[in-house]
Amino acid sequence: MDAGSVEHLLHFVVDRLEVGILAVDTEMRVVLWNRFMAMHSGKPPEQVIGRNLFECFPELPQKWLEKKIRNVFLLRNYAFTSWEQRPYLFRFHHNRPITGGVDAMQQSCTFLPVKGDGDEVEHVCINVFDYTDTALYQHKLMAAIGELESEREEQKRLIKRLEEAQNQLLQSEKLASIGQLAAGVAHEINNPIGFVNSNLGALDRYVQDLLRLADAYGVAEDALAARPPEFQAVAQLKQQIEFDFLREDICSLIKESRDGLDRVKKIVQDLKDFSRVDSSQEWQWTDLNKCLESTLNVATNEIKHKAEVIKDFGALPEIECLPSQINQVFLNLLVNAAQAITGRGTITLASGHDGDWVWIAIADSGCGIAPEQIKRIFDPFYTTKPVGQGTGLGLSVSYNIVAKHGGRIEVDSLLGKGTTFRVWLPLRHETNEAVDASK
């Protein structure tokens, strides 16, 4: 091929290539404008050639682009733009007008320094590549990756919840075995208490009899005109053992012992009620006031040194619940209330009912909870207590127990003033029945 036909071929290729090709001189005048540029811009070469690029396309970012082109003249080195950072240089329609998703042809451009006869760069040639398809694929890919990532996040969240559930399970198992132990101990204590109680009853009667006998002797003694000298010894003995005080005190001792024993019986009964090993996982109709009373007795040691307990119970209908678990909730809330109090304070227990719901409120005059902490208090392992005092599971377990009952826990707290937890429970346990019915 002769030089002429090679030049013709080159000219043809540059013009028809499916790539935008333009060139400017140092004055930013357009000296080359191929068909791709003409078709997409709607400006034929005769409207562009010889004119300033920025006059022809005022929408171009002149300050930045001119600097970029000047740098190519100056440095005699390639420069680039990428659709990823700058979606386009020239605003052209793209080949996906309908299915698009992008608003203009996405372009990556290369800036080529074109040297003249000497070493100086005389022109900068800009190649505009259509990257719309790539961009669309990339967008799809990014969307898919985004989806994958959110799925992974979801999985992470699920795994975390699973771990929480497992921890709660462990905790409730621990509580259950403590309950079992307590119930076993309670049962064992019940027997000796039974016979001590009945012995004490008999003892009371015998003592009364003996005292009556002693009284009869006294009357007989007084009736005698002359007292034999042996009575001198009896009188002496009476004085020595402070008989008058003894006969008074022995009765109150026995009475106090019987009262004490009654209290032991009550505590044992509360322990059994609290753990309900015999019927621990059965839904029962229960009076929550009684539940709270028996839990209060179990927790009395934790509370009595810290707070005065004020009871303001309203009449409650029985509700369907798992009593041992509800007791667990009350215990957690009572212990928390006591621990929130520094020095001495009050714990107010109240209850009431409203339509199909009953509520129990446990209010303390303690340190209160900061607003930013409130949303976290039901998180597992969240604790503000010193190491060893709390597992951080109490409220989380309580929350889940109440949720299982279809109820909710409301918290109202004022820093420095105290906190009120109000447990709302529905009268009937709907889900449970639905499950039962499906069996």
Partner 1 sequence: MNAPLLTQDQKDALQEIANIGMGQAGASIAKVLDEFVQLSIPRVLFVPPEEIPVALALTIGEGQVSSVRQAFHGSMRGEALLVYGDQRCNDLADLMGYDGKLDHASELELLLDVSNVLAGACLGEIAKQLGMTIGFSAPSLMADAVPLESLLQAEALPWKTALLVEVNFRLEQRSFACHLVMLMPENEVAALAAALDRFLESF
Residues lying near partner 1 in the complex (CB under 8 A) are found at 63-68, 71, 74-75, 77-82, 84-86, 108, 110
CB of 108 to partner 1, least distance (A): 7
Edge-to-edge, what's the strand order for the sheet holding 79-81?
30-33, 20-25, 121-130, 107-115, 79-81
**CB nearer to partner 1: pick between 111 and 378:** 111
In 3D, which of 229, 262, 21, 272 has the Cα closest to residue 123?
21
**CB nearer to partner 1: pick between 73 and 399:** 73
**CB nearer to partner 1: pick between 132 and 295:** 132
CB of 110 to partner 1, least distance (A): 7
- Token look-up 């340190």 returns 367
Which segments of 106-131 does DSSP mark as H helices, in order?
A: none
Handedness of CA 196, 199, 200, 203 (dihedral sign): negative
**CB nearer to partner 1: pick between 84 and 151:** 84
Instruction: Compute the distance between CA of residue 34 and CA of residue 48 in angstroms, rounded to an integer.
Output: 11
**CB nearer to partner 1: pick between 124 and 425:** 124
Determine how many CB atoms are found less than 10 A away from the CB of residue 402.
20
CB of 113 to partner 1, least distance (A): 10
Rg (CA), the chain: 46
CB of 60 to partner 1, least distance (A): 12
CB of 73 to partner 1, least distance (A): 10
CB of 22 to partner 1, least distance (A): 18
**CB nearer to partner 1: pick between 64 and 285:** 64
CB of 107 to partner 1, least distance (A): 12
**CB nearer to partner 1: pick between 135 and 183:** 135
CB of 76 to partner 1, least distance (A): 9
Q: What amino acid occupies position 162?
A: L
- Token look-up 């509800």 returns 326
Which long-range CB contacts under 8 A does 163-166 form with residues at least 24 apart?
164/380, 164/396
Cβ atoms of residues 423 and 353 within 8 Å: no
Instruction: Compute the distance between CA of residue 243 and CA of residue 393 in angstroms, rounded to an integer.
Output: 59
**CB nearer to partner 1: pick between 85 and 281:** 85
Q: Could you tell me which residues come within 8 angstroms of residue 381 by beta carbon, excluding any fewer than 6 positions away?
A: 167, 391, 392, 393, 396
